[in-house]
Chain A
Amino acid sequence: QSVLTQPPSESGTPGQRVTISCSGGSSNIGSNYVHWYQELPGAAPKLLIYRNAQRPSGVPDRFSGSKSGTSASLAISGLRSEDEADYYCATWDDSLSSYVFGTGTKVTVL
């Protein structure tokens, strides 16, 4: 059972903005960077956002991240059909001395 909680699913129509939440605690999100990963169907996961809000080269600026206290969020603006994927947050947990992933959120473009 993951220590990081995400909603199982989110959906939107093309062009809309979708936000995915990631809720944790003081030993993980509260004291460490949060990173986000996108898993397209049939593909290996890919780094999408790192250190709360940084985008790797090649990631569109439609994707943005933020963190406040013990929660983090990933926002997808201008939703496109190719954004249909599973999204995971991750961070280091000081109490567990391990990396932890969120439960994952499936984004559907209606």
Chain B
Amino acid sequence: DVPLVESGGGSVQPGGSLRLSCAASGFTFSSYYMSWVRQAPGKGLEWVANMNQDGSETYYVDSVKGRFTISRDNAMSSLFLQMNNLRAEDTAVYYCTRDGAAPFDYWGQGTLVTVSS
């Protein structure tokens, strides 16, 4: 039972843009902080960004500030990540996660983003 389903990944050239989506189900989406976490091929986990319940607070890792924007639609139980000016080092599997009793208590299956010329 995986209540988080990501989509929107793909291949893009450096400098390009992608918008990731995450569809949530099985819990009251509007009651939880949500995060994006990524994992570069063969590397460890890296937290990317999170957003509070009503979207009024956002936090980002320094490496994506000014390029990535996290957003949510509580009516649609959906989380988004707009990624602009993509770089090769942004290549990774991007996971949508819920912040419940602990950060990242539920994970989606991930969507692969490849930035290459």
Hey, which bits of chain A sit against chain B, CB under 8 A? 2, 33, 35, 37, 39, 44-47, 50-51, 54, 56, 86, 88, 90, 92, 96-104
Question: B60 at interface (Cβ–Cβ under 8 A)?
Answer: yes
Taking Cβ atoms with an 8 Å cutoff, the residues of B that contact A are: 2, 35, 37, 44-47, 50, 59-62, 95, 101-110
Give A100 Cβ to nearest chain B Cβ, in Å: 7
Contact assessment for B110 and A44 in the assembled complex, using a CB-CB cutoff below 8 Å: yes
Interface pairs (19), CB distance under 8 Å: A33-B102, A44-B107, A44-B109, A44-B110, A45-B95, A45-B107, A50-B101, A50-B105, A51-B101, A54-B101, A56-B101, A56-B105, A88-B44, A90-B47, A92-B103, A98-B59, A99-B50, A101-B45, A104-B44
- Given the known interface contacts A44-B110, A45-B95, A90-B104, the answer about A98 and B62 at a Cβ–Cβ threshold of 8 Å is yes
Indicate the member of B95, B101, B108 with the most A CB atoms within 10 Å. B101
Interface centre among B61, B101, B102, B109 (most CB of A within 10 A): B102
Closest partner residue, chain B, to A50 (CB atom):
B102
B residues less than 8 Å from A102 (CB atoms): 44
- List 13 other contacts, CB 8 Å, given A44-B109, A88-B45, A90-B45: A33-B102, A35-B102, A46-B107, A47-B104, A50-B101, A50-B102, A92-B103, A98-B61, A98-B62, A99-B103, A100-B47, A102-B44, A104-B45
Q: Which residue of B lies closest to A6 (CB)?
A: B44
| Chain B: minimal CB distance from A101 (Å) | 4
Partner of A37, one of B50, B101, B104: B104
